[in-house]
């Protein structure tokens, strides 16, 4: 297909309509307003999922309304079609072309961020360190064997309601775990009556009761009944609850395995240790004025101390650490929570901004230059015709 025929393609011509652009921008305005207001009622996560991450959602539970993801896709196709059908690839259009290329790069960076970003958090007490951050919403079933020191080789499976009935193959020697029941949000009870006879739970939990999910899904605590199998002969029933501090210990053929239902972990290729946490409050109040975490990044032989404070994140490799929260326990021990964002496309928005900026500069300089050139040409034409510029202006 030749480029000239592509420019005349009816589909591209329809898709490049300015009406679509204006319609999409209007819808984005409505969605942004609606989604922002809805956060008060439904919480940040639910509002994000419903208004911004969806293709469609039901307004008032009845009427389908396009979600921001669909609108952005349409806008992307619209812009791309416009670039194919309308713009002439000439030097005097370079500014406009760069601006639109910059806008398309914004879309690409939004796509990369939406699909590839990994958001989690890391809570450390002063002096503590870790190489894993914790997911906000996703959970995993983690199994490991006790090892010397602070390192554990973990085998983990992502777990959700869809995992019921599945068998997680853990070790080569035949230790598997079957998910019998799974409640995305549950309440654990310590009553005398056991929900299932012969179930093991190290915290004394006997019963799990499914409850409706909370407005903020981050606060949901799942639980479930699992069957630990070792070969065909040995079977143990486990009751696991996401709110337990300790993993369940399963001893099979003199081997100790630890099993825990916990928030999904993301591995960082370095160790982060909280050396010190400082918080300042406004005078005579308990309201935080500023807080900062002095952390040590250890990667192999490299050790580096970095101060993370509000609006001053740590960027290392593809990870960005923001000061998010803090806690002080009953003994006055301080803990700092860092929001961890892994995004290999984090440079893309900057690239898009730079391209758009260059496009604007090129466009306006070009306009100014051609104006100047136009007036110079007019002046020389007037001179040639025997009239001075002043005379002409009079």
Partner 1 sequence: MKVRYQICLGFFLVATLSSCENNEQKRFYTEIVVPSPLAERQDSTAVLEHPEIFLPSTANDEPSPKQSSDLKSGDNLTWATPSGWKEELGHGMRLVTFVEGEGKEKVEVSIVKLAGAAGDLQANVVRWLGQIKLELKDEELASFISRAKGINTDSGMAGKIFDFTLLQKWSAADLDSMMTAMFEQPDGVIFVKMTGSKKIVLSEQKKFEQLCHSLKIH
Residues that bind partner 1 (CB under 8 A): 1-3, 6, 111-112, 115-116, 118, 123-132, 140, 144, 146, 149-158, 168-169, 187-191, 193, 202-205, 207, 209, 221, 242-247, 258, 260, 262-263, 265, 267, 271, 273, 328-333
Measured distance CA(214)–CA(326) in Å, rounded: 23
Smallest gap from residue 362 Cβ to partner 1 (A) = 23
Number of Cβ atoms within 10 Å of the Cβ of 282: 10
Smallest gap from residue 40 Cβ to partner 1 (A) = 24
Instruction: Give yes or no for a contact between 112 and 328, defined as CB atoms under 8 angstroms apart.
Output: no
Q: Which helix (H) or strand (E) holds 214?
A: none
Q: Judged by CB, which is closer to partner 1: 93, or 203?
A: 203
Measured distance CA(33)–CA(77) in Å, rounded: 24
Smallest gap from residue 386 Cβ to partner 1 (A) = 53
* 383: three-class secondary structure by DSSP: helix
Q: Judged by CB, which is closer to partner 1: 355, or 363?
A: 355
Smallest gap from residue 30 Cβ to partner 1 (A) = 27
Q: How far is CA 19 from the centre of its chain?
A: 32
Q: Judged by CB, which is closer to partner 1: 64, or 127?
A: 127
Smallest gap from residue 371 Cβ to partner 1 (A) = 35
Q: Judged by CB, which is closer to partner 1: 31, or 135?
A: 135
Q: How far is CA 180 from the centre of its chain?
A: 31
Q: Is residue 225 classed exposed, middle or buried when 0-12, 13-18 and 19+ CB atoms within 10 A define those classes?
A: buried
What's the distance, Cα to Cα, between the start and end of the chain in Å?
57
Q: Judged by CB, which is closer to partner 1: 263, or 363?
A: 263
**Distances, alpha carbon 66 to alpha carbons 123, 199, 243, 353, in Å:** 38, 47, 37, 27
Measured distance CA(25)–CA(76) in Å, rounded: 12
Smallest gap from residue 118 Cβ to partner 1 (A) = 8
Return the half-sphere exposure (C-beta side, CA atoms, 13 A cut-off) of residue 338: 31
Smallest gap from residue 226 Cβ to partner 1 (A) = 16
Q: Judged by CB, which is closer to partner 1: 45, or 111?
A: 111
- For residue 273, the cross-strand partners are 129, 296
**Helix-helix angle 94-116:68-85, to 10 degrees:** 150
Q: Judged by CB, which is closer to partner 1: 332, or 386?
A: 332
Measured distance CA(262)–CA(208) in Å, rounded: 16
Classify residue 385 by its DSSP letter. Answer: T
Smallest gap from residue 20 Cβ to partner 1 (A) = 20
Q: Judged by CB, which is closer to partner 1: 140, or 292?
A: 140
């Amino acid at each position: 297909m030749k480029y000239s025929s592509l420019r005349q393609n009816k589909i591209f011509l329809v898709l490049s309509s300015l009406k679509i652009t204006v319609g999409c921008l209007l819808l984005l305005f409505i969605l942004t307003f609606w989604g922002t207001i809805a956060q008060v009622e439904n919480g940040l996560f639910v509002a994000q999922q419903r208004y911004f991450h969806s293709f469609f959602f039901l307004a008032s539970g009845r009427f389908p309304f396009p979600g921001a993801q669909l609108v952005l896709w349409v806008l992307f196709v619209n812009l791309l079609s416009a670039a194919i059908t309308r713009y002439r690839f000439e030097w005097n259009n370079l500014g406009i072309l760069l601006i639109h290329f910059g806008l398309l790069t914004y879309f690409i960076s939004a796509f990369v961020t939406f699909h590839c970003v990994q958001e989690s958090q890391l809570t450390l007490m002063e002096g503590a360190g870790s190489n894993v951050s914790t997911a906000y919403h996703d959970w995993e079933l983690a199994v490991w064997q006790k090892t010397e020191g602070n390192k554990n080789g973990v085998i983990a499976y992502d777990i959700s309601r869809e995992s019921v009935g599945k068998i997680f193959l853990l070790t080569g020697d035949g230790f598997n775990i079957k998910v019998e029941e799974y409640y995305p949000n549950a309440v654990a009870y310590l009553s005398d009556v056991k929900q299932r006879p012969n179930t093991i739970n190290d915290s004394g939990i006997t019963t799990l009761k499914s409850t409706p999910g909370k407005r903020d899904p981050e606060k949901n605590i799942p639980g479930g009944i699992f069957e630990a199998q070792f070969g065909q002969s040995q079977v143990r029933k486990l009751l696991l609850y996401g709110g337990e501090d300790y993993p369940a210990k399963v001893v099979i053929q003199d081997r100790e395995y630890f099993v825990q239902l916990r928030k999904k972990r993301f591995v960082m290729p370095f160790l982060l240790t909280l050396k010190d946490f400082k918080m300042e409050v406004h005078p005579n109040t308990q309201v935080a004025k500023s807080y900062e975490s002095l952390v040590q990044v250890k990667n192999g032989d490299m050790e580096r101390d970095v101060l993370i404070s509000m609006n001053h994140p740590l960027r290392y490799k593809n990870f960005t650490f923001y000061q998010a929260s803090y806690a002080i326990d009953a003994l006055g021990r301080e803990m700092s929570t860092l929001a961890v964002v892994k995004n290999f496309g984090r440079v893309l928005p900057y690239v898009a901004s730079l391209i758009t900026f260059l496009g604007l500069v090129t466009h306006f300089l070009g306009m100014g230059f051609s104006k100047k050139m136009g007036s110079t040409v007019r002046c020389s034409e007037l001179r040639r015709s025997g009239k001075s510029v002043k005379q002409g202006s009079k």
